[in-house]
Structure 1
């Protein structure tokens, strides 16, 4: 991507924020997922475009409320309370960290997730805005998926597919989980479309998302995709049609995969046959043992660099759950699991009320949004068992979206 078009795009997004702050926020999220500056060739390469645009949205939001002489409509939710306690625990474990040279910087980096979450809570104050938020996330990932899926098809699945260079999703394993999370968001978008051409286009993107995830050669990604497929069938009202179509699609896809792909996936049941999988078992055991011996504060952020045995190449914990337990103790893991688990439960309640409780007056869009977010989070939870992605931005964006959805469903009156 040439630098001047990227600069013009950034300026356009910055200007949009001053007209409609919530649209500017959506533009910031696109930049955060796509990392377009890493495709630049000259002066824009590596520029902090995301940070600058996010600060611009914050200023535009403050100006918008000052101009109208109103205060932002803040809301309290039990999930927000758990989030704040979790972050306070992060700060406490950082104070006791065994790697004080790196832990504070990581805490600061992770804490930057709170700003976009807060902006979502303030600016996304209607179901229509929330719908566009989910569509924006889906479309941003789809832009990468299109390239990855096309590459996989023309090369016969012989090469691994990777995400944007320099992003949190750049590795093939991370990209596979990201792609799996995008599938339910794309299908949510599909169900809300009316034009036949648009529906075919979005359906094609969903198929390419499946292709991209499978062709990443990621074992965790495969399990994430399978989890998404099972949940989509479970949520479908036409299971008699969905199950055969899914079986046919999987059969056609697997028929084109090379033998080396199947050999790699078989190590899921026999990890000792693969050096990478075997080393992960060693790392998991080491991290879990440390969490059991230090259940309160763990080891703090970025402690994995101090645990590497001489015979094992250790670059991460290779599991979000081991990562949180080892770095923040069993207390931190309980808070982390409680935050995600309570959010999933809230989404299940919205799905159940919208689908079965006649006394509920939830619009179909609420049920569809709840199902999409729930399935995307489920894909994350499966993939997180194999990757150090505990502090992914997309996870916390979806959590914030779920809390906003719950607020809108319980209090459907438009904001003043």
Structure 2
């Protein structure tokens, strides 16, 4: 199906992209060898291994030990989600040996979910850091050599899953960049792709507007209940989300209330029916516009969407941010012309023509289709070229 646009503009035709076939699920638009720590104590060894092998990436994981069961479960969901990402060819796991979930158990769990090559090493088992790094580098090198032999194939846009994020919002976010990304989301959904919006705390105040997009009553009620439960959870802890939102940066940028911020936030998800509501890190089972219940912290939200299988993420910002992800390219866009000029090293797309009245948000949304196609076909985002890798695991589960 083609995207139906306003103003009499011609429809955009669905596109194909070059990707790497996976035995399970969507194709990858990257072919990384992931060096994955089971705990904080393995993170530095993973960083060193990745630095020695071209095509390898690593994450820094700051937990994994001395945790309660619910937090451990969430950490494992994120780590296995990263390993099963379509953008990952193979996985080298490094653990310490006394963490809550040891390297061999994590390896077995990942192997039960995918046919990708997966190996693991324990620092205590191998006799220290140097011996572990040596074995891990050899394993990663062999995987990288195998990954380089895999040929790209053409895939339909229906195989694409894009995450949608915002952070450091200002007044231009709600009136320009978020509507433009919402237009992009609608176009992609109409083409057959899937888009995912998260940060449920930033639905509060506008949840009734988002819920109107629900494909059925069950989804409508889930959206309303998520927001109710979130506020109730914070109240029980003696907190008020309206005291911390908008953030000081949001206020400096011209946002005055949580409702105002939320109305802008949900606009970036477009206008198409919401067909599914997901827990953090869970892959969608349907095509179309979906939403995920995550925290309002943009890095943890990006983390959850990457773990859920997004191949790319578009990130709107008014104040500016350098955020990137090791596994998933993060495309940064802003409609604040000053921010784009001051942070040109980090911003990928300038949407300020909308604010100046030179272009409509619909026009800029259509133009971003080409940018997404380029990212799918291998063009690096600025954060990706820098090698930025930000993750944060949210350990509060509110889904109902």
TM class, shorter-chain normalised?
under 0.3
The TM-score, its normalising length taken from structure 2, stands at 0.23
Structure with more of its chain in strand, by fraction:
2
Give the number of the structure whose alpha-carbon radius of gyration is greater. Answer: 1
The TM-score, its normalising length taken from structure 1, stands at 0.22
Structure with more of its chain in helix, by fraction:
1
